Amino acid sequence: MDTIRAADAKTNFGALLDKAQREPVTISKNGRAVAVVMSATAYEDHQRVKLELLRQEVRKGLGDAERGNVVSAEKAFTELDRELAE
């Protein structure tokens, strides 16, 4: 994935849009990645994949609940806090 500076993206916006039709482009500002520009089709594909993964996880969770494979809210949040702290 190409990276271009924000100033160059502003100056060459049309070229940026053309390039984004072929592949995502990272925009950097002060040497730090701040955005990614991608085609509408690539974005829609990305959103579709995210939604399908979410649906799979929900189905898995519902299956676990039906089998009685559950944990208390306290335990779940404690585990989540531990993972976020890592």
The answer to whether residue 74 scores a pLDDT higher than 90 is yes
Average pLDDT over residues 18-42: 97
86 pLDDT band, cuts 50/70/90, is confident
- The kind and range of the H/E element at 32 are strand 32-37
The pLDDT tens digits for 35-44 are 999 999 999 9
Separation CA 23–CA 37 (nearest Å): 9
Average pLDDT over residues 18-23: 97
**Predicted pLDDT at 1:** 86
